[in-house]
Amino acid sequence: MIDPDRIQVLHDGPARKGRYVLYWMQASQRADGNHALEYAVERANELNQPVLAGFGLTDDFPDANLRHYAFMLAGLARTRDDLQRRGVKLIVRLGRPDEVALDLAGDASLLVCDCGYLRVQREWRETAAVRADCPVHQVESDVIVPVETASDHEEYSAATLRRKVHKHLDRFLQPLPPVPARRDSLHLRVGGEDLSDVDALLRKLKIDPSVKPVREFPGGINHARERLREFLARKLDDYADRRNDPSLDLQSHLSPYLHFGQISPLEIALAVRSARTAPPQAVEAFLEQLIVRRELGMNFCHFNPRYDRYESAVPDWARRSLARCARDRRPAIYSGEQLERAETADEYWNAAQREMLTTGKMHNYMRMYWGKKILEWTASPEEAFRVALHLNNKYELDGRDPNSFAGVAWCFGKHDRPWTRRKVFGTIRYMNAAGLVRKFDMDAYVEGIGTRE
């Protein structure tokens, strides 16, 4: 049984007499650890019907490009195979996801969808719910604690959300065994795109081809699990004390897979909790990032629909402070194009930017420094916010994610507190190159980025 707090009825009513239960898969792009899929199978079994999975492949998702689509489609090809082994046929069609879902729902008894937190994702589901002729149930599976169970408003900081999340952890950190489907949908004659040739499918899409796919992070749950196994075996023990050091490779590198729903956060959390030899503080530190910090981003986007606008994403105190510093002399001013090409006088910032350009993922600690320097080197905080979001969303595999929007906003004071006043930054938290050198072997970081290019 799926916890009722994960389920939201978007369009009520009894199930129709259809051919199947439709699972509209959009955010949770996986066959394992997927509450929406398991709910669809449960309901289909009650109706003695198969589950058909549908995916709407739009080529105009905001800020997405070839890099993102190549990663996603590689993962979808693997998910198709995993679903097939469970007796569930996956149909991928070109078009707006809500239109694809509505078309497939024409023969459905019930439409089950997963949950998204960005505006466009919520608009798709709202449109489908209004126009569907069958009931529509949404099931939240990409967080540990459902967003509205954790809180009923936009939280001020991780500290205010942490207490609320922690009291629900025992309830929601429960294994999710797969429900066997009584009937399979593999025989259904429903047409879609061919996922066996991802390159051919990519050529059909009208997407920006300038940002190339990356080799370092291939898409698919199999690769996500390889990353997880490596993290548990080699990195978790040192995570609490040394994860922020960019010269060390102690990150889990799971955020691209989490962003596309290719692996469940529940699977990751349970695996980390079960690491018997790991120091308790390491487990606690990782779960803080995976659950509290990550789900703070979901809370932010869910309760603040203008999460990508400076005026609403950045808190009032921070905007007032930055406005008072608007005329302060900057140590340097760089154009967006110079920043994009990593053409600054700061070799550490340039290395971080090149890491993102080359691999599709920047070290988490360097992301904070990266964003702070864009604020320092841009003519206005409003322009800095726009540039940081643009570059992050364009090049990061985990860009265009609630955590990306929250992370960029954090560089401008979101989910933080006022600090000592200084030029340009006002009371926004400050970071500088001297701090990096004092804490870390930055020469090793720069050299390491050079070997990956």
Instruction: Give the model confidence (pLDDT) of 273-289 as tens digits.
Output: 999 899 999 999 999 99
Give the mean model confidence (pLDDT) for residues 40-51.
98
Residue holding tokens 């569930």? 88
User: Does 397 have pLDDT greater than 90?
Assistant: yes
| Dihedral sign (CA 349, 61, 385, 303) | negative
Closest residue by Cα to residue 35 from 56, 14, 4, 72: 4
> Under a CB-based contact definition with an 8 Å cutoff, are residues 53 and 25 in contact?
yes
> Under a CB-based contact definition with an 8 Å cutoff, are residues 415 and 406 in contact?
yes
Which distant-in-sequence residues (6+ apart) come within 8 Å of 230 by Cβ? none
Tokens of 295: 């789900």
- DSSP, res 160: H
Integer angstrom CA distances of residue 117 from 144, 248, 288 = 14, 32, 20
Give the mean model confidence (pLDDT) for residues 391-410.
98
Give the mean model confidence (pLDDT) for residues 141-156.
99
What distance lies between CA 206 and its chain's CA centroid? 23
> Under a CB-based contact definition with an 8 Å cutoff, are residues 31 and 37 in contact?
yes
Distance CA 132, CA 138 (A): 13
> Under a CB-based contact definition with an 8 Å cutoff, are residues 279 and 273 in contact?
no
Give the mean model confidence (pLDDT) for residues 319-338.
97
SS3 content of the chain, % helix, strand, coil (to 5): 50, 10, 40
Share of the chain above pLDDT 70, in %: 100
User: Does 127 have pLDDT greater than 80?
Assistant: yes
**Band of pLDDT at residue 375, cut at 50, 70 and 90:** very high
Tokens of 321: 């402070």
Rg over alpha carbons for the chain, rounded to the nearest Å, is 22
452, burial (CB in 10 Å: exposed 0-12, middle 13-18, buried 19+): exposed
Instruction: Give the model confidence (pLDDT) of 198-256 as tens digits.
Output: 999 999 999 999 999 999 999 999 999 999 999 999 999 999 999 999 999 999 999 99
pLDDT at 243: 98
Distance CA 224, CA 253 (A): 8
Give the mean model confidence (pLDDT) for residues 150-171.
98
Give the mean model confidence (pLDDT) for residues 372-381.
98
- Angle of CA points 161, 164, 167, to nearest 5°: 145
Closest residue by Cα to residue 244 from 116, 368, 103, 394: 368
User: Does 431 have pLDDT greater than 80?
Assistant: yes
Q: What is the mean pLDDT of the chain?
A: 98
Class of domain 310-452: mainly alpha
**Band of pLDDT at residue 408, cut at 50, 70 and 90:** very high
Neighbours of 451 (CB within 10 A): 6
Tokens of 36: 């929406």
Tokens of 327: 């005329």
Class of domain 143-177+219-305: mainly alpha
User: pTM for the complete prediction?
Assistant: 0.98
Domain ranges of the chain: 1-141, 143-177+219-305, 310-452
Provide the β-strand partners of residue 94: 57
pLDDT at 239: 98
| CATH node for 1-141 | 3.40.50.620
Strand order in the sheet with 89-94: 7-11, 136-139, 108-113, 20-24, 51-57, 89-94
Distance CA 220, CA 217 (A): 9
User: Does 453 have pLDDT greater than 80?
Assistant: no
**Band of pLDDT at residue 451, cut at 50, 70 and 90:** confident
**Band of pLDDT at residue 96, cut at 50, 70 and 90:** very high
Tokens of 418: 């006022």
377, burial (CB in 10 Å: exposed 0-12, middle 13-18, buried 19+): buried
Distance CA 316, CA 427 (A): 12
Instruction: Give the model confidence (pLDDT) of 53-94 as tens digits.
Output: 999 999 999 999 999 999 999 999 999 999 999 999 999 999
> Under a CB-based contact definition with an 8 Å cutoff, are residues 109 and 47 in contact?
yes
Max CA pair span of the chain: 70
**Band of pLDDT at residue 158, cut at 50, 70 and 90:** very high
184, burial (CB in 10 Å: exposed 0-12, middle 13-18, buried 19+): middle
- DSSP, res 232: I
